[in-house]
Structures are given as C-alpha cells and as structure tokens.
Chain A
Amino acid sequence: MPRLPEEEHPNKAFGWAARDSSGVLSPFKFSRRATGEKDVAFKVLYCGICHSDLHMVKNEWGTSLYPLVPGHEIVGEVTEVGNKVQNFKVGDRVGVGCMVGSCRSCDNCKDNLENYCPKMILTYGAKYYDGTLTYGGYSDTMVADEHFIVRILDNLPLDSAAPLLCAGITVYSPLRYYGLDKPGLHIGVVGLGGLGHVAVKFAKAMGVKVTVISTSPNKKKEALENLGADSFLISRDQDQLQGATGTLDGIIDTVSAQHPVLPLLGLLKSHGKLVLVGAPEKPLELPVFPLLQGRKVVGGNMIGGMKETQEMIDFAAKHNVKPDIEVIDMEYVNTAMERLAKADVKYRFVIDVGKTLKATS
C-alpha cells in the first residue's frame, strides 16, 4: 500500500500542489527525506514561477505525476548540511534549479553536462533514486544533494536571483555554447517573456548588440528603454524583416508556440545560428536552401550543467543582471498562473514563500 506523501519521509513539509490536470494549486502536506551525508537542506524563501510549471500542472506534455508540487527556481537559506558536505554551511544563501540528480558517471555527467544525462532527475514530478516523487519549490523546505546546489552571492537579491535558476541558465548556456557571447556581435531575441528578457540582459552584459523580435508592438518601449535592447523588430512586419535581412550573427528563439523558421533564417548573416530554447510540440518546417546557402545552423539547448549554472549566477552577480519580477503571495499563485497563460507579467512571478506560505493545520 503506497504511503501518503506526508508519511514517506521523516521531515514534515508543506507546499502547494496540483492534484490533477485542471492545474489548480492548493495546500498540500508532504514530507522531505532526512538530510543525507551529502545533502543540503534549506528553508525556501522565494520560488520563481516558470512557464514549464504551467505546462506541468496542466499535464500539457503528458508526463505529469500528481500530486505535483512545481517550482524549479528555488532560493533560500541553508538550515542543515550532511556530514560529508564540503562547500556549504548553515546560513548560506543557496538555490536549486531544474534538476536534483543524475547518474554522475556517464560522459555527459563527467563533462559537467548533467542536464543531458539520460538519467537526470528533475526537481519536481520525477522519480528520485529511492522511488519517491520529487517535489519542487512551491514549498517551505527543500533538500538536495550538494552537487545540485548553487551558491548565491550576497550582492544578488534572493528574490530576483530565483528566476536565474531556470530562465537565466536556459539563455546563458546557449549564448556561450554557440559563441554568441562575444562583444560586437549582433543577436536577435525572439519573444520577450521570462526567457527573452533575461536573454537581453545577459547579452548586453556580454557586450553584444541585441534586437528584440516580437509580435507585440507594445513591448517596444520596454525593450529599448527598460531592458536596454538596441532595436526592436515586429516579426509580422515584412518590411521590417526585409530591412533586417542578413544582419544577425545569432538568434535566441524563446517562443514555444508554432512559428515559421524561414523569416528568422533570413535575418541571420551567413554562418549565423538560430538557437531554439522554447520547445514547440509539433515539428517546425525547415527550409533547407537557406541553411546551405549561408552555412547556417539551427540548434537547440536545454538549461545547463551545474558548473555552468554556478558560473551564470556569479556572472549575473558581477554584472548586475537581475530578472524583472513581480513578487506575489502564495495564495495568489492560481491567479498568477492564469495571468502567465496570457503572458500578463513583466516578466517573472516570484512567490514570496518565506513570508506568505503558511502551513495549514
């Protein structure tokens, strides 16, 4: 007989979970494992709301296991460390992102690419080594293996640091891997949401010229004045697209909805790279001639390994890259999800877990 979530592990925990694909979140009692010898346990202070959370609570990818406690942009303060933990101590400001486990022995893991390990364990909605379900950061406490914990330096506010743990690494990693991080290059960022706005900030911090490409003309002012983009292109305006043909060294495409690739390939210079970090469910149409003619590339990317995630956090601290957030109370979360579905947020909701998550009796 399977045990109740609150009886699975010795340490009581409390959070908000979705019970079914309606995606509605409500208070949920569960438990966390005892802090193992390599584990770091921390009090959750803030958790970012990623669009993936919305996909998962509604089972839009067909992989959700309920009850589902989402949240993989988790930050807080260490409360306990296992006796073999070397890099963290009680009181440290730390975070956990999208993964809490991997095999640690495959080529990917050895290359600091735990995110591509075939046995990578997601922070929520996945089976941990002991067979229990993982629960994410819409909760009061978190425990994770030291390897999957990142340190957050003092000069980075915890609330705005939270979204870096998914949105940040999702765009930082491809900027580095695809060589789009060199001063003087010119990139496009397609979509101006949680991912897109952080991409603009990181790229600017790297000295890269940025054009935001969006379907929403009303985002132009924001993009140029608030986020520091150099220019703005409305993707449905043929004249604007034509005027920008062959101007971009790369494009970070954050859009998950189906959209045509051909106009984006046209914006690339020869040898340009289109990097997809959103994941449309259905295949896109790939015209081959533009790839051949300009030796162009379409690539993908998914978050980053732990080493790179720490590097990204440190870079953000050094260059003052802070996501734009709207801090909300725990009880606002369902409304936030509805607004997120309509992209009505600038640009990331962050739940003030520490102050507003109240355990029910």
Chain B
Amino acid sequence: MRNLVQQSPMVLVLAFKRRLGMMFGTVGNCDVWNCWMRACYISRHSPSGFCTLEITAKVKEGNVEISRGREATKGFWLAATDKSGTLTPFNFSRRETGDEDVTLKILYCGVCHSDLHVLKNELGVTSYPVVPGHEIAGVATKVGKNVTKFKVGDRVGVGVLVGSCKTCECCQQDLENYCPQITFTYNSLNPDGTKTYGGYSDMIVVDQRYVLQFPHNLPLDAGAPLLCAGITVYSPMKYYGMTKAGKHLGVAGLGGLGHVAVKIAKAFGLKVTVISSSPQKESEAINRLGADSFLVSSDPAKMKSAIGSMDYIIDTVSAAHPLLPLLSLLKVNGKLVTVGLPNKPLELPVFPLVFGRKLVGGSDVGGMKETQEMLDFCAKHDIAADIELIRIDEINTAMERLAKSDVRYRFVIDVANSLSQ
C-alpha cells in the first residue's frame, strides 16, 4: 500500500467480493456500495474472487490535485464535494494524451438525471469530489500517435464509459457497456487507480475506442444528450426487436429519455403511445414530439381501454411504480424494458408474465459501435434532443429544476461560451 495522505478524502482501501458486489470502504461520505456500481472497482488481481485495490495516493497541493506519476494538465471543472450535490468550481488535472488517446475541448455537456442521483449520493455509490457529465460534445484538440479514427478538429463526443477490459466476451462483441471491468466516465476508477471525472469541465482525455464521431449534420449541443439518453433507448429497441414498422410501442415517462424514445421510435415507423402521469404533457407529446397517442397512467378507465394493445413498452420511469398496469397494456408476447433506475426493487406480478408469455428486461446504454450507429441514425433522421442551454453558473439551479422535472427535456451546459465570458 502506498503512502496515505491523512487529509485526503480520495484515499481508500477496498476489499470486495467480485460477484456479490458488496464493497466496503469509506471515502469521505461514501457509503457501502450496492451491486450497481461494483463494476467500477474491479482489481486486476482476482484469482480467488477476492480483490483489493491499491490506489495511487493523491497529494493535494494548494487546490490542485496532482496524481503521482502523471503530469498534470490544468483545467477547470465543476465538482460536488458532499451530498448536498452543490457544484462549485474546482481545479483539476487530466492525464497527458497517450498514444491511444483523444483530447477533447468540451463545448457542450448534457445534464443527465444520473448526474443528479450521483451528486446527491442517492445510489450510495458516490466518491466525492465528483465531477459529473457523460453527454460530452466537443472538438478534438490532440490525438495520440496510434489514433486512427480521429484527427484534430473533428467533432467528437464521449458518453457513459471511457474504458473496459477489451478482452472479455462482452468487449469482443462490441458490448463494452456490459464488461465487468467497465470504467464509467465519472465517479469510477481507471485501471491505474485514478478517478474518472466527467464532462462538467473544459477538456477530457479518452481512449479512442470510447470516443464517438459526430456526423456533420448533427448539432453538438442538441446531439450531446444522445450520448446517454439516446443510446439508452436506442439499444433496447434494437436488442428487443422493437423496430418493426407498424408495431405499437408505449413509452412510459416523458423526460430526457422518454422524449428521445418517442423520436427514435417514430423514425423506426412505430406507432407510439406516451404513458404519463402528467395530463398536461399530452399536447407536447402529440403535437411537438409526434407521438400518436397519450395515455394518462392515473386514469383507470383509459388504462383499461388500452389493455393488450401494445407490442412493447420502454419504461423510463425511475421512481418506484407498479408494473402490473404496464404489463396489462402489453399484448401476448409483449416486452417491457426498463431503463430507469429505481433504487428499490419493483413488484413483479408473475401471472401476467406466465399467462401472456410476456417479459421484463433491462438495458444499460450501449456498446461503442452501437452508440456510433445510433448517432448516425439520428443524424440521418434529423433527430436531436430538445434542450435548454445553460451557462455553467446556472448549473445548481438547473439541478433543482431537474429534480422537479422542470425541463423540456434536457439541460445542456454551454461550456465553451460560459468559460469565455
């Protein structure tokens, strides 16, 4: 174990059982981790299934943290340092551009609801200070000598992951997002033990494998949210076969994920019904987003009349909610895919599954190849997110509004313009 710095909140010792996902450690306010984030902290040494992780000690010099053994590139970012989730300016360092790396100047970063969950440690997995942001769009300013896919000046993006093992079955099948050794764009650990910091900053350095090319006609600002919200709904539509023109898809929840799901589904030629508890969203859903119909989930009569009418449902709702009414909307062989992140188990009534051969499945973003495919698809069909641009100094207010779902439908931080002012 390397020297530990007494004051640093960054130093931690972890021992964990590889598959049961219970990890014990303390990092400032970090609680015991649940299964969801276990993938972040996987050691390279795991012959017995028990792993320990050595962390590069960080030395705080002034207000700039420098990782030992790596040169610092100074920059600027927003970090939260406790579970109030309040974001404040925080100086930082990024690694030098390695041979496989692309350095991005960040122009825009989408504000995903996951950012809010992590800022406030609602999932119990946050390691402070945390810099969120995994819907990053910008321009390549430097590329490593082995980089073949990108050149300086390219319009590029980074989504939810910045690393994986590259050798497991999932990685070999372009499913890096399911790699047990995935490195998330923020609040995660690189193989060298340093933490990852996300896109609420002015620059980022990422292995070329995890960088996306923005098609020329896809705007960077409205395209940024596609890097999480877009792939989160596109991937299950492909995997679960929800792309047959004429079939009927229900989209539960009309927020960042839901509104993109409607657009992509319409581009696939699906009939789309938005299922929402907010009647006031109906006009938007139909007139602006192009949904074919709107179902108020709290209206029993309307729900009853729609029983057995849908081939699939994408459930974007994170709050705890009953599955039975949604399952009832499905036809026989219907599929309900959950992409939201409820932090408690849902109640699963079994009879509807058995008597209708229905299924409930999950999906978690997508691999890099599919994410690129999604961007190209959206560019081709003129799909981008509906966004509200904000300055960096407006982020905390935006987070408060996001908590109340007061946004149509994604905040995007206008990083470059905020910094230039």
Contacts and interface: CB of A to CB of B under 8 A. Distances in A.
B362 A242 contact: no
Contacts of B39: 293
Nearest to A118: B308
B345 A270 contact: no
B362 A284 contact: no
Interface stretch (B2-10, B292-300, B349-357): B349-357
A8 B175 CA distance: 63
Contact of B342 (A242, A279, A288): A288
B332 A284 contact: no
B38 to A, nearest CB: 9
Interface in A127-146: none
A299 B353 contact: yes
B338 A292 contact: yes
Give the top 8 A-B pairs by smallest Cβ distance, nearest first.
A300-B353, A291-B362, A299-B359, A245-B19, A300-B354, A286-B348, A292-B362, A297-B361
Interface string A335-356: 0000000000000000000000
A229 to B, nearest CB: 23
Interface of B: 17-20, 34-36, 39, 49, 170, 175, 178, 239, 308, 323-324, 332-333, 338-342, 345-364
Contacts of A262: 345
B350 A280 contact: yes
Interface in A265-310: 266, 270-271, 273, 276-280, 283-302
A290 to B, nearest CB: 6
B338 A297 contact: no
Contacts of B333: 113, 116
B357 A177 contact: yes
23 contacts: A116-B357, A118-B308, A242-B17, A271-B178, A280-B350, A285-B348, A286-B348, A286-B360, A288-B342, A288-B345, A289-B34, A291-B360, A292-B362, A293-B178, A294-B178, A295-B361, A296-B362, A297-B360, A300-B353, A300-B354, A300-B355, A300-B358, A301-B354
Nearest to B236: A295
A112 interface: no
B16 to A, nearest CB: 12
B303 to A, nearest CB: 18
Contacts of A270: 170, 175, 178
Given A118-B308, A242-B17, A270-B178, 12 more contacts: A113-B332, A242-B49, A262-B345, A270-B170, A271-B178, A276-B350, A286-B345, A287-B35, A288-B346, A289-B34, A291-B362, A295-B363
B356 A116 contact: yes
Contacts of B341: 288-289, 292
B348 A298 contact: yes
Contacts of A280: 350
Contacts of A291: 338, 360-362
A261 interface: yes
A246 interface: yes
A295 B261 CA distance: 18
A188 to B, nearest CB: 16
A133 to B, nearest CB: 21
Given A299-B357, A300-B357, A293 B362 contact: yes
Contacts of A113: 332-333
Interface residues of A, number: 39
Contacts of A118: 308
Contact of A302 (B308, B346, B357, B360): B357
Nearest to B19: A245
Contacts of A287: 35, 345
Contacts of B35: 287, 289-290, 293
Contacts of B324: 283
Nearest to B359: A299
B36 A302 contact: no
A235 interface: no
Contact of A300 (B17, B18, B359, B361): B359
Nearest to B320: A288
A108 interface: yes
A276 B364 contact: no
Contacts of B357: 116, 177, 299-302
A284 B324 CA distance: 12
Contact of A276 (B18, B340, B353): B353
A301 B333 CA distance: 9
A246 B364 contact: no
Given A280-B350, A289-B34, A300-B357, A295 B239 contact: yes
Given A113-B332, A291-B338, A296 B36 contact: no
Most buried by B among A266, A277, A291, A300: A300
A177 B358 CA distance: 11
Among A280, A289, A298, chain B packs the most CB atoms within 10 A around the CB of: A289
Contact of A283 (B20, B349, B364): B349
Interface string A119-159: 00000000000000000000000000000000000000000
A295 B356 contact: no
Contacts of A245: 18-20
